[in-house]
């Protein structure tokens, strides 16, 4: 079974401007492996998120990395990082945004269940909210129909026999 990671970027209002959230999900369990925030929507945001997930997962090889065709993901620097880590890049087809539906769904629930209910005055407040939602609720206990209604952590525990 080839492992697949899926990634996307969304925006969140913080005070009077937007901040950007990049997240990477393991498609098998729907677990969010890494997420980073920035005031810039650039390749550095994607690279920082990727390297965080890569190290947390023990530097795997042969993983497919799927995203939309955003300039951050198509950038030469990011493509070189994937090549150097033995990842295979996959893009959504032009005009087919539903190819990245799992990440769109995650961001929809993140905003509905957490972010849209709050006002953020700083990126630190946003980061705390993301941590509490993703690490404290989403990965640990939020059930997914794709996981037979297990949470991402429960799905991984079941698969790995833990």
Whether residue 68 is contained in a domain is answered as yes
CATH number at residue 69: 3.30.420.10
Whether residue 45 is contained in a domain is answered as yes
Strand partners, 154: none
* pLDDT (tens digit per residue) in 37-91: 999 999 999 999 999 999 999 999 999 999 988 899 999 999 999 999 999 999 8
Q: What is the pLDDT of residue 98?
A: 54
pTM of the model as a whole: 0.93
Three-class DSSP category at 52: helix
Q: What is the pLDDT of residue 69?
A: 85
Is residue 8 very low, low, confident or very high in pLDDT (cuts 50, 70, 90)?
Answer: very high
Whether residue 138 is contained in a domain is answered as yes
Write out the residue range of the structural domain in which residue 19 sits. Answer: 4-96+118-160
Whether residue 25 is contained in a domain is answered as yes
Whether residue 64 is contained in a domain is answered as yes
In sequence order, the 6+-apart residues with CB closer than 8 A to the CB of 6 are 24, 25, 27, 66, 67, 100, 102, 103
Q: Are residues 36 and 48 in contact, defined by beta-carbon separation less than 8 angstroms?
A: yes
Structure-token pair, residue 69: 């065709």
Whether residue 102 is contained in a domain is answered as no
Whether residue 103 is contained in a domain is answered as no
* pLDDT (tens digit per residue) in 100-155: 789 999 999 999 999 999 999 999 999 999 999 999 999 999 998 888 899 999 99
User: Is 80 exceeded by the pLDDT of residue 22?
Assistant: yes
Task: Please give the tally of structural domains in the chain.
Answer: 1
Which residue in 21, 27, 48 sits closest to 115, CA to CA? Answer: 21
Whether residue 81 is contained in a domain is answered as yes
């Amino acid at each position: 079974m080839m492992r697949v990671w899926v990634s996307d970027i969304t925006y969140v209002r913080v005070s009077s401007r937007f901040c950007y959230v990049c997240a990477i999900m393991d498609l098998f369990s729907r677990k969010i492996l890494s997420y980073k925030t920035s005031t810039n929507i650039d390749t550095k945001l994607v690279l920082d998120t990727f390297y965080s997930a890569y190290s947390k997962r023990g530097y795997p090889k042969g993983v497919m990395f799927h995203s939309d065709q955003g300039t951050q993901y198509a950038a030469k620097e990011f493509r070189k990082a994937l090549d150097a880590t033995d990842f295979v890049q996959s893009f959504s087809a032009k005009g087919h945004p539903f190819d990245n539906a799992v990440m769109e769904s995650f961001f929809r629930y993140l905003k509905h269940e957490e972010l849209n209910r709050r006002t953020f005055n700083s990126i630190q407040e946003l980061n705390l909210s993301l941590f509490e939602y993703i690490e404290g609720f989403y990965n640990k206990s939020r059930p997914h129909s794709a996981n037979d209604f297990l949470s991402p952590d429960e799905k991984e525990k079941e698969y790995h026999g833990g």
